[in-house]
Chains A and B, each alone.
Chain A
Amino acid sequence: MTKEFMAPLTAPVNQQERIVILDSLRGFAILGILLMNMPSFSMPPPAHHDPSVLNEWGTIDFTTWKIVQWFPEGTQRAIFSMLFGAGILLFIGGKEKRLDGMMPADYFFRRQLWLIVFSLFDVFILLWLGDILLDYAVLGMVMFAFRNLPAKKLLIGAGFCFFFMLVTENRNLYHDKEIIHRGEMIAAIDTTKTPLTLIQKEQLEAMEDFKKKNTIESKQVAMKKNIEKNTGSYKDLYEHRTSRYINELVTYLYFGIWDVMLFMFIGMAFFKMGILTGQASVKTYLLMTIVGLGIGLSVSYFRLQQEIYARFNWYEYSKQVWFSSYELSRTFRSLGILGLIMLMYKSGWFKWLFTLLRPVGQMAFTNYLMQSFLCGLIFYGVGFGLFGKLQRHEIYYVLAAIWAVQIIYSNIWLSYFRFGPMEWCWRSLTYWKKQPFKKNESSTDTAGMS
């Protein structure tokens, strides 16, 4: 997901040719993604985004939850999708200059299909349920058809995705509302006078089920069960995780298509407009930051207040809320955070940070899979089994440790090797030929490399 993008087909990457800022951005995003994924790696499902289950009210854990949900939640995935979109342009564009005919397309599709294989590895071997590689692999192929559009049309495409995303999100909300509404109407019927029909009974049951699932007691039962499964043997864990694969990932790919494609569109457009590469004016980034964070954080704050007001009971929440605004706030916050990072870049005061994160981004693919591996080792029963044992604020200490580890090894690794190990693997599979690995291998040897 990194070198791959820039790597011109023929020679090993000429360091000067790379668009340095994109690597650093990717570094930010890949570390940021773990910030969001941390609760899913370490806490049982009903509790990851719901501080009521563990009764965290008023503690530092609650504050931690609130800050993460309010500000960065979902934005790193968005920035990563943007970079993936831009990467498609770079990958194909670079090859089109050097290769005739259809070969660039062939390499591109092979690369995407191998990414599917890697996603299966992430899910079925590393047992990570939140894998995003499948979405990037599949939707990247879709984006191939849009890559030549001018920036303006790409933004129209993004607008289209944005609209559908909001519709999907709210359709779900109104679906839940309908279940509640119908059920409550039926519950109000005096059954001593009018017996319920079969359909009415079913509808009543659906409502009651929904209600029951959202009580603290049933959430705690679900949590307990989940902890058992995650801290058991590899076999239990495997059964548990892979049997949910279809539900979690394949349906996400189907219904969440807008969530990913929106930002791929934006990424392609921003790349063409120079926004992603730092070529736009400071004013542009300032505007992105102010508008993005201004709207995004307000909407997000309001949304969290509603959740807190409903005391994280989704049943009550669905009754009270009229518009589901998660994706709305996420989109604005993501644009705002991108603007903010670019302002930091433009200011020149953070050169050290961008330099530090560049190697992390250059081997983003390795680092992404490594996060699944390290977290698995720390949290699952096959490793140290800390799943469900840490308090919410404590998991962020683990995060800091993983960040430090990834920053250190990325900087060391890339002073000896051209690519991260998984990048090298991916490249070699895509070109179906072993790629040069060590830095000191002469570049002329591999001039014909494809």
Chain B
Amino acid sequence: MTNESTAILAAPIGQQERIIFLDSLRGIAILGILLMNIPGFGLPYVAINDFSVQPQGDLNYFFWYVFGPGVFEGSMRGLFSMLFGAGMFIFITRLEKRTTGLMAAELFMRRQLWLLVFGLFHAYVLFWFWDVLFHYAICGIVLFAFRRLQPKYLFIAAAFCLIAMTANENKNLYREKAVIRKGELIAKIDTTTTKLTDKQKEQLGAMNEIKESSTPEAKKKKMEKQIAAVTGSYKDLYKERSGLAERSETYGVYYWAIWDVSLFMLLGLAFFKLGILQGEAKTKIYAWMAILGLGVGLPLSYLFVTFDVNDNFNWYEIIKTKVFDFYEIQRLIHSIGIFGLIMLMYKSGWFKWLFALLRPVGQMAFTNYLTQSIMCGLFFLGIGLGYFGKLEYHQLFYVVAAVWIIQIVWSHIWLRYFRFGPLEWAWRSLTYWKKQPLKKNNSNIGTTGMG
């Protein structure tokens, strides 16, 4: 795949060159992602964003609202996507300086393709159906062609993604509205006097299907089935989860990732070029981001959640009431607000300890992301301890706290002895198709280029 001399030239980026602060941000994002993902790990699919089929209670509701759709939803994934966009740019421009010809592009492509393989492993072997590595691999490849654009054009491209995603959301909403409208009209027909045509029967059936699947009974039944599958044998689990993964890697790429993930990658790349991501911009800018983002975003998110709550999560009713779907819009705005807030914390200087604490976690973000799935898998799945579907909403967050502590501690210990996280090391070695040095005392002097 490569000839020997270019391989040496293309040696990985030295540690000293890492932009230290980005690692801390990555640490925040990777721990934050677990907050968003934990319901997916611990609850049946139907119940994740549906409070009507869960044990009620203020504490449960609070956790759901704050770490769910009300405040944080999508913000950590967004932050991670931004860092990925900046990361690919750093990766390529550094390699461009060290290598000649197309070597940088080639290594980048290999890196993305290995990521795709890791994504498949994550989804089908570790059973994490919300895996994003697969999507990051694909969107990253697309982003390659945009990497040289000025921030202005990157923002335009991001705006295009936002519009396309919102259009998609609303196309789906209105398609379902039409199904319901047609079905309801037919349901009103007095069938004793006029016989329904085949087409009308079909349309009535389509409407009833949405209606029935929205009832609490149908959801509970589905929930029980999912719990049985996930806490059952390996084969049942595989069937259930691989089905979800397949959906995510086909429909999910087209309807969701290519807009939702690319949007934030483009923003991240633009922010990096403007110095905003590295904390080089003025405090005022971050303050505006926080104020506007949260000031506008949180009320919007509140409104967005209200639709669900008012109709008691009955999808059939929600479709009928909603006139405009704005998931991506509210998510983007509150995510920007949260990003601004984090950057303000950094600029203030009061949280140095926190950023220092999370830096190693971010340096081994890839390892930590995958080990979250392993730990949560062992705890929740039937092939492990089988706690799936057994915890109340707020109890899930004790698991998060435990995983966080473990990850913070081991990241600090590991990186005292090693240069990279174990999976980072594997990924690098595969990308360069050469075993990379792992231990720290491998002598920095001998291999200055190799860090």
Task: List the interface of chain A (C-beta within 8 A of B).
Answer: 92, 96, 101-102, 104-106, 109-110, 113, 141-142, 144-146, 148-149, 153, 246, 250-251, 253-254
In the docked arrangement, what's the CA distance between A149 and B96, Å?
Answer: 21
Checking B104, B110, B250 against A251 with a beta-carbon cut-off of 8 angstroms, the contacting residue is B250
Q: Does B210 contact A (CB under 8 A)?
A: no
Tell me if B109 and A144 are in contact (CB < 8 A): yes
Checking B2, B92, B101, B110 against A96 with a beta-carbon cut-off of 8 angstroms, the contacting residue is B101
Tell me if B253 and A148 are in contact (CB < 8 A): no
In the complex, which of the residues B92, B102, B144 has the most CB atoms of chain A within 10 Å of its own CB atom? B102
Task: Give chain B nearest CB distance to A25 CB in angstroms.
Answer: 27
Tell me if A105 and B249 are in contact (CB < 8 A): no
Task: Give chain A nearest CB distance to B303 CB in angstroms.
Answer: 30
Task: Give chain B nearest CB distance to A416 CB in angstroms.
Answer: 33
Q: Which residues of A contact B92 (CB under 8 A)?
A: 102
Q: Which residues of B contact A145 (CB under 8 A)?
A: 1, 106, 109-110, 113
Q: Which residue of chain A is the closest to B2 with respect to CB atoms? A: A148
Q: Which residues of A contact B105 (CB under 8 A)?
A: 102, 105, 144
Seed contacts A96-B102, A144-B109; 6 additional CB < 8 Å A-B pairs: A96-B101, A102-B92, A109-B144, A110-B145, A113-B142, A142-B109
Q: Does B148 contact A (CB under 8 A)?
A: yes
User: Ordered nearest first, which 7 A-B pairs have the shortest CB separation?
Assistant: A105-B105, A145-B109, A109-B145, A254-B250, A251-B250, A105-B102, A250-B254
1/0 per residue, CB under 8 A from A, across B177-189: the answer is 0000000000000
Task: List the interface of chain B (C-beta within 8 A of A).
Answer: 1-2, 92, 96, 101-102, 104-106, 109-110, 113, 141-142, 144-145, 148, 246, 249-251, 253-255
Q: Which residue of chain A is the closest to B104 with respect to CB atoms? A: A102
Q: Which residues of B contact A96 (CB under 8 A)?
A: 101-102
In the docked arrangement, what's the CA distance between A145 and B250, Å?
Answer: 22
Checking A92, A110, A250 against B102 with a beta-carbon cut-off of 8 angstroms, the contacting residue is A92
Checking B1, B102, B142, B253 against A149 with a beta-carbon cut-off of 8 angstroms, the contacting residue is B1
In the docked arrangement, what's the CA distance between A92 and B102, Å?
Answer: 10
Q: Which residue of chain A is the closest to B110 with respect to CB atoms? A: A145
Task: Give chain B nearest CB distance to A221 CB in angstroms.
Answer: 9
In the docked arrangement, what's the CA distance between A101 and B92, Å?
Answer: 12
In the docked arrangement, what's the CA distance between A250 and B246, Å?
Answer: 11
Q: Which residue of chain B is the closest to A142 with respect to CB atoms? A: B113
Task: Give chain B nearest CB distance to A236 CB in angstroms.
Answer: 12
Tell me if A250 and B96 are in contact (CB < 8 A): no
Task: Give chain B nearest CB distance to A429 CB in angstroms.
Answer: 12
Q: Which residues of B contact A246 (CB under 8 A)?
A: 250-251, 254-255
In the docked arrangement, what's the CA distance between A110 and B110, Å?
Answer: 18
Known contacts A144-B109, A250-B250; is A102 also within 8 Å of B142 by CB?
no
Q: Which residue of chain A is the closest to B202 with respect to CB atoms? A: A225
Q: Which residues of B contact A105 (CB under 8 A)?
A: 102, 105-106, 144
Tell me if A102 and B145 are in contact (CB < 8 A): no
Tell me if A106 and B254 are in contact (CB < 8 A): no
In the docked arrangement, what's the CA distance between A145 and B112, Å?
Answer: 10
Known contacts A142-B113, A145-B113, A149-B1; is A102 also within 8 Å of B102 by CB?
yes
Tell me if A141 and B141 are in contact (CB < 8 A): yes
Q: Which residue of chain B is the closest to A153 with respect to CB atoms? A: B1
Q: Which residue of chain A is the closest to B103 with respect to CB atoms? A: A102
Task: Give chain A nearest CB distance to B116 CB in angstroms.
Answer: 9
Task: Give chain B nearest CB distance to A239 CB in angstroms.
Answer: 9
Checking A92, A113, A251, A253 against B145 with a beta-carbon cut-off of 8 angstroms, the contacting residue is A113
Q: Which residue of chain A is the closest to B175 with respect to CB atoms? A: A243
In the docked arrangement, what's the CA distance between A307 and B437, Å?
Answer: 57
Task: Give chain A nearest CB distance to B21 CB in angstroms.
Answer: 27
Task: Give chain B nearest CB distance to A222 CB in angstroms.
Answer: 13
Q: Which residues of A contact B145 (CB under 8 A)?
A: 106, 109-110, 113
Q: Which residues of A contact B144 (CB under 8 A)?
A: 105, 109
Task: Give chain A nearest CB distance to B132 CB in angstroms.
Answer: 17
In the docked arrangement, what's the CA distance between A148 and B254, Å?
Answer: 30
Q: Which residues of B contact A113 (CB under 8 A)?
A: 142, 145
In the docked arrangement, what's the CA distance between A167 and B78, Å?
Answer: 37
Q: Which residue of chain B is the closest to A106 with respect to CB atoms? A: B145
In the complex, which of the residues A102, A146, A153, A254 has the most CB atoms of chain B within 10 Å of its own CB atom? A102
Tell me if B251 and A250 are in contact (CB < 8 A): yes
In the docked arrangement, what's the CA distance between A102 and B110, Å?
Answer: 16
In the docked arrangement, what's the CA distance between A109 and B105, Å?
Answer: 10
Task: Give chain B nearest CB distance to A248 CB in angstroms.
Answer: 11
Task: Give chain B nearest CB distance to A271 CB in angstroms.
Answer: 18
Known contacts A102-B102, A109-B144, A145-B106; is A254 also within 8 Å of B249 by CB?
yes
Known contacts A251-B250, A254-B249; is A148 also within 8 Å of B141 by CB?
no
Of the A-B pairs whose beta carbons lie under 8 Å apart in the complex, a sample of 20, sorted by A's number, is A96-B101, A101-B96, A102-B102, A102-B104, A102-B105, A105-B144, A106-B145, A109-B141, A109-B144, A109-B145, A113-B142, A141-B141, A142-B109, A142-B113, A145-B113, A146-B1, A149-B1, A153-B1, A250-B254, A254-B246
Tell me if A250 and B104 are in contact (CB < 8 A): no
Q: Which residues of B contact A104 (CB under 8 A)?
A: 102
Task: Give chain A nearest CB distance to B55 CB in angstroms.
Answer: 25
In the docked arrangement, what's the CA distance between A96 and B113, Å?
Answer: 23
Q: Which residues of B contact A250 (CB under 8 A)?
A: 250-251, 253-254
In the docked arrangement, what's the CA distance between A92 and B101, Å?
Answer: 11
Task: Give chain A nearest CB distance to B221 CB in angstroms.
Answer: 9
Q: Which residues of B contact A149 (CB under 8 A)?
A: 1
In the docked arrangement, what's the CA distance between A254 and B252, Å?
Answer: 12
In the docked arrangement, what's the CA distance between A306 and B274, Å?
Answer: 65
Checking A148, A153, A254 against B106 with a beta-carbon cut-off of 8 angstroms, the contacting residue is A148
Task: Give chain A nearest CB distance to B104 CB in angstroms.
Answer: 6
Task: Give chain B nearest CB distance to A43 CB in angstroms.
Answer: 22
Task: Give chain A nearest CB distance to B13 CB in angstroms.
Answer: 17
In the docked arrangement, what's the CA distance between A250 and B254, Å?
Answer: 8
In the docked arrangement, what's the CA distance between A113 and B109, Å?
Answer: 15
In the docked arrangement, what's the CA distance between A102 and B105, Å?
Answer: 7
